[in-house]
Amino acid sequence: MQQAARAAAPPLAAARRALSRAGLRARCSAAVEGGAAAAEAGAEAPSGRRLRVLSGVQPTGSLHLGNYLGAIRNWVALQDTYDTYYCVVDLHALTAAHEPRELARATRSVAALYLAAGVDASRSTVFVQSRVPAHSELAWLLNCCTPVGWLNKMIQYKEKSRKLGDGECSVGLLDYPVLMAADILLYQADLVPVGEDQRQHLELTRDIAGRFNTLYGGRAWKGMGKGPAPSGRARGGRVLKPPEALIPPQGARVMSLDDGTSKMSKSNPDEGSRLNLLDSADTIANKVKRCKTDALPGLSFDDPERPEAANLLTIYQLCSGLSREAVEAQCCSLRWSEFKPLLAEAVVEHLRPLQARYAELTSDPTYLDGVLAEGAARANETARATLGDVRDALGMMP
Ligand code: AMP
Ligand code: TRP
């Protein structure tokens, strides 16, 4: 019984421990909760290999505090325990209008930000999605077993396509979540650390893996021939591993500076709505000075009528490293005009080392290009094994 509980739930518990060791608060919610017994489990898959983590960010616009607090910062803590893969998803960036002269630069910049934030190329595989052709190929194979009705229901697709209209909305935008599923399933990732907005895409990834396994795994796969599958494992059972989303308890949905009820986003035309990771100290101070507030006295984390207060206190907490209780004690009786300089300073100080490392890394492009070349080689190797099994299970010619 205990064995079963362990097998069902190890990734979450170990992830919680990894994040808590890094001071990122112990609780971590996942799209699929593992249960209490998970508390004692380790970060090893039943196969004996280290559990795998994969995540990515699109090279569109400037990365902001939402990307960092919701995703990238959490990636760093996971490197100690997991086999971590972090990619820059440039193919995803093509699903919306993009500037060709900017893409390569933006791709390098996002990779440099991963490293500047603390992703360590000697412990993580850092790579550019399009340099591993298996992502596109698996996306096609998964397209052929994904009902279009599943994609039509995706909230992000509905929102973006409504804004664009039929004439401008590409097939790629509809297909975006299948490519994302391919990114994850190629590596048989156990955990995917992302912000709250990706929860539905992770559920879809699980559904796609489940459908593929039902249609082509198990007995059907076993029947494809004797001897091992291309990856070296025995045929039969599931071909693809359904992953779990790892969504942090705080910072999973950082809100816009101009509206505490909408998400901080790269695509908001108002620059003042977000704090970018590479903003100067003056820009940060100005944006904070101008951000939306309310007319109530004091500050509160919990008042549903005060989304701006909750958002800015959370950003302050995460950037200052203080506990929630300490932030409450320090800030709840402050006026906005007293709190804002504290907030700006905490953000500036938190980002200072990241910005310094970024400047260093980008002053030597050969280093970064070397990291990305090595990462692509490693990622290609891992991806090839899964793609081989998928082709095998589908009955394609070797
Ligand atoms: P994107 O900018 O869409 O490529 O998102 C990259 C990562 O940042 C994903 O894991 C998102 O869930 C996360 N993310 C984006 N915006 C926010 C936000 N406002 N708050 C928290 N996480 C976010
Ligand atoms: N869709 C994700 C986002 O916009 C980016 C992404 C693409 C991703 N592929 C992924 C995230 C794989 C995690 C894992 O944020």
Domain assignments of the chain as residue spans, ordered by start: 2-252+366-394, 256-362
First to last CA, the chain: 41
Ligand 1 close to Cβ of residue 56 (< 6 A): no
Label residue 114 by pLDDT band (50, 70, 90). Answer: very high
Question: Which tokens belong to 258?
Answer: 């101009």
Ligand 1 close to Cβ of residue 70 (< 6 A): yes
pLDDT at 27: 36
pLDDT at 283: 98
The crossing angle, in degrees rounded to 10, of helices 100-117 and 365-394 is 100
Arithmetic mean of pLDDT, 254-263:
96
| Cβ–Cβ under 8 Å, residues 59 and 107 | yes
- The closest residue, in CA terms, to atom 17 on ligand 1 is 66
pLDDT at 3: 39
Ligand 2 close to Cβ of residue 60 (< 6 A): no
**Is the per-residue pLDDT at 14 higher than 70?**
no
Q: How far apart are CA 41 and CA 38, in angstroms?
A: 5
Q: How far apart are CA 346 and CA 319, in angstroms?
A: 6
Label residue 141 by pLDDT band (50, 70, 90). Answer: very high
**Is the per-residue pLDDT at 28 higher than 90?**
no
pLDDT at 370: 97
Question: Which tokens belong to 339?
Answer: 């709190």
Q: Pick from 59, 138, 126: which is nearest to 377 by CA?
A: 126
Quote the longest CA-to-CA distance of the chain.
73
pLDDT at 13: 65
| Cβ–Cβ under 8 Å, residues 312 and 291 | yes
Neighbours of 296 (CB within 10 A): 12
pLDDT at 38: 29
pLDDT at 386: 98
| Beta strand 52-57 pairing with 83-88 | parallel
Ligand 2 centroid to Cα of residue 328, in Å, is: 34
Ligand 2 close to Cβ of residue 10 (< 6 A): no
Estimate to the nearest angstrom the gap between the alpha carbon of 128 and the chain centroid: 14
Q: Which fold has domain 256-362?
A: Tyrosyl-Transfer RNA Synthetase (1.10.240)
Label residue 262 by pLDDT band (50, 70, 90). Answer: very high
Ligand 2 centroid to Cα of residue 27, in Å, is: 22
pTM exceeds 0.75, yes or no: yes
Label residue 21 by pLDDT band (50, 70, 90). Answer: low
Q: Looking at the CA of 135, which ligand is closest?
A: 2
Ligand 2 close to Cβ of residue 63 (< 6 A): no
- Residues 299-333 as b/e (b if ≥16 CB within 10 A, e otherwise) read bebeeeebbbbbbbbbbbbbbbebeeeebbebbee
Q: Is 361 exposed, middle or buried (0-12, 13-18, 19+ CB in 10 A)?
A: buried
pLDDT at 167: 85
Which atom of ligand 2 lies closest to the CA of 176?
1
Arithmetic mean of pLDDT, 96-113:
95
Ligand 2 centroid to Cα of residue 303, in Å, is: 31
Which atom of ligand 1 lies closest to the CA of 56?
6
Catalytic residues: 160, 263, 266
- The closest residue, in CA terms, to atom 14 on ligand 2 is 55
Express each pLDDT in 308-329 by its tens digit: 999 999 999 999 999 999 999 9
- The closest residue, in CA terms, to atom 6 on ligand 1 is 57
- The closest residue, in CA terms, to atom 7 on ligand 1 is 67
| Cβ–Cβ under 8 Å, residues 113 and 277 | yes
Specify the residue for token string 């939306």: 292
- The closest residue, in CA terms, to atom 8 on ligand 2 is 56
Ligand 2 close to Cβ of residue 31 (< 6 A): no
Express each pLDDT in 163-220 by its tens digit: 998 888 999 999 999 999 999 999 999 999 999 999 999 999 999 999 999 999 999 9
pLDDT at 61: 84
Ligand 1 centroid to Cα of residue 253, in Å, is: 8
Neighbours of 187 (CB within 10 A): 26
Q: How far apart are CA 40 and CA 73, in angstroms?
A: 25
Q: Poorest-confidence range of 11-20, 75-84, 208-217, 236-245?
A: 11-20
Ligand 2 close to Cβ of residue 180 (< 6 A): yes
Report the top-level CATH class of 2-252+366-394: alpha beta
**Is the per-residue pLDDT at 31 higher than 60?**
no
Which atom of ligand 1 lies closest to the CA of 263?
19
